[in-house]
Structure 1
Amino acid sequence: MRHDKRYEKLDALGDWKLEHKSQDIRGMPLVSPAGEQFGIIDDLLVDRDNERVMAVRLEDGRVTPVEPLDIHDNCVVYGEEAVAYADRGVKEGHVVDEEVVPVVEERVAVGKRVADRGRVINVHTDVVTDKVSEDVHLRTENVSVEKRPVDDRRVSTKDANAMLDGKSVTMTERNEEAVVAKDAVVTDEVVVKKTAGDKVEHVDETVRKTKVDVDTDDARRR
């Protein structure tokens, strides 16, 4: 069986009719020779060029050609063994209708993820100033000019001539002054680190599942 869009529904062709009423198999079950039901025939598909019914469409949309079909009073059989099946009828235990009720159960999968605890540690540095006081001993020089008596000390003619030629004396005052030099040294270190550990946390969760209750007419009569 397959899906096919080449044909037109008989219902859509208002001026078309079947030659015999027995050929109207709409609403009848389509079954296999073994008794397996494929579905209910919903419509007849017409090939307008050949002016005949070429296929049937089931309620679920599937399409099959009419050639392998054999029409009987209670069903339409699909396959080569259709006549034998029609003679013996439906076997005991063959499924003619079925509904599926899914049984659903929730299951819990417990995992883990990384989440912020809200505590954030920020470390930053600022530059601050401080005063350093220290005493430094500095030397100062003073040049002074004074005259003192020498009690008429005699000198030689040579020394006298040299002294009388004139003499110039220069003396410079020098003072020490404080000089400040700075260098940087590392005195301490601040270490920012994070440690990790394990803990066990108990998790409780509610899950749902389908409970199937079967009610029969016999149970209602009691």
Structure 2
Amino acid sequence: MRHDTRYEKLDTLDHYELEHESQDIRGRPLVSTTGEKFGIIKDLLVDPDHNRVAAIRLEDGRVCAVEPLEIHDNAVVYGEAARAHAETGGAAVVEEVVPVVEERVVVGKRVADTGKTINVRTRVVGETVAKDVHLRDETVSVDRRPVNRAVSGAEAEALLKGGSVSMTERDEEVVIGKETVVTDEVVVKKTAADRVEHVEEEVRKTEVDVDVTKDGRRR
């Protein structure tokens, strides 16, 4: 079925009444003589100058005149006469469109794991450190040596009173301590570089071949 633009601006039947309710074909399917369904009739379009229904509009918006239509109980037939009428309608008839389709390649990109992962971890290990430390030990000894020295009366009095001498031995001993220092740094970093990858993909498209026949012969 072809869309006829000559009736697009007509009013719908909502503002008018039909002489016979049986003429209301809204809601019925519009079919071809071979049973092909074009759609459901949505509106009846009224020509106010002639006070009659002049065309129908389908649910998808297509419009055609009512004269070529054959009304049946359960359907309305769009006959061969209607097709011929539409084809001879000149510029007022909008031709059906055959779409020309082609596929286009859309190239995008995504982040994908390469399967290579580098893990860096620290662990504690021990080792023995050996050093030589020089220490000093003190020793207190008591010796007697012979002396033959005369003393005066005052010194003699002092010496005869008695006395004591005290001396303490002191030894050096090792004191061990530890300090923590950072000796190295391990740096983990990731760098990125751009690269060009060539891609190819097959696409499809439709091409239109027009055959013109006349008198049963292809030209």
Give the structure-2-normalised TM-score. Answer: 0.59
Identify the residue that residue 89 of structure 2 maps to in structure 1.
94
SS of the residue corresponding to residue 56 of structure 1 reads coil
Structure 1 Cα separation of the partners of residues 89 and 212 of structure 2: 21
Compared CA separation, residues 54 and 199, structure 1 to 2 (3 A): same
- Which letter does structure 1 place at the counterpart of 2:53? L
Structure 1 Cα separation of the partners of residues 119 and 196 of structure 2: 29
**How far apart are residue 131 of structure 1 and its match?**
2.1
Identify the residue that residue 9 of structure 1 maps to in structure 2.
none
- Which letter does structure 2 place at the counterpart of 1:158? A
Asked if 1:210 is matched to 2:194, the reply is no
Structure 1 Cα separation of the partners of residues 138 and 157 of structure 2: 33
- Which letter does structure 2 place at the counterpart of 1:210? T
Asked if 1:69 is matched to 2:66, the reply is no
- Which letter does structure 1 place at the counterpart of 2:21? R
Tell me which of 169, 176, 189 is aligned to 1:173: 169
Q: Which sits farther off after the overlay, 89-98 or 185-194?
A: 89-98
Structure 1 Cα separation of the partners of residues 66 and 174 of structure 2: 129
Note the 1:21-170 alignment, pairs <5 A: 34=6, 52-53=21-22, 55-57=24-26, 58-59=28-29, 60-61=39-40, 62-64=42-44, 68-69=52-53, 75=68, 90=85, 93-94=88-89, 101-150=98-147, 152-170=148-166
Q: Output one character per residue of 1:98-135: Cα deviation in whole Å (capped at 9) or x when no partner.
A: 76544321100112222221111122222222222211
Structure 1 Cα separation of the partners of residues 211 and 151 of structure 2: 156
Compared CA separation, residues 181 and 33, structure 1 to 2 (3 A): closer
Identity of aligned residues (%): 52
Identify the residue that residue 201 of structure 1 maps to in structure 2.
197
Q: Which has the higher strand share?
A: 2
Compared CA separation, residues 160 and 147, structure 1 to 2 (3 A): same
Compared CA separation, residues 203 and 192, structure 1 to 2 (3 A): same
**How far apart are residue 167 of structure 1 and its match?**
0.7
Compared CA separation, residues 168 and 108, structure 1 to 2 (3 A): same
Identify the residue that residue 80 of structure 2 maps to in structure 1.
none
- Which letter does structure 2 place at the counterpart of 1:55? D
- Preserved contact between residue 142 and residue 173 of structure 1 (Cα < 8 Å): yes
- Preserved contact between residue 100 and residue 208 of structure 2 (Cα < 8 Å): yes
- Which runs of 5 or more structure 2 residues have no equivalent in the other structure? 9-16, 30-38, 56-64, 70-83
- Which letter does structure 2 place at the counterpart of 1:137? H
SS of the residue corresponding to residue 44 of structure 2 reads strand
- Preserved contact between residue 55 and residue 65 of structure 1 (Cα < 8 Å): no
- Preserved contact between residue 140 and residue 176 of structure 1 (Cα < 8 Å): yes
Give the structure-1-normalised TM-score. Answer: 0.58
Identify the residue that residue 190 of structure 1 maps to in structure 2.
186
SS of the residue corresponding to residue 25 of structure 2 reads strand
Q: Which sits farther off after the overlay, 59-68 or 107-116?
A: 59-68
- Preserved contact between residue 35 and residue 90 of structure 1 (Cα < 8 Å): no
SS of the residue corresponding to residue 180 of structure 2 reads coil
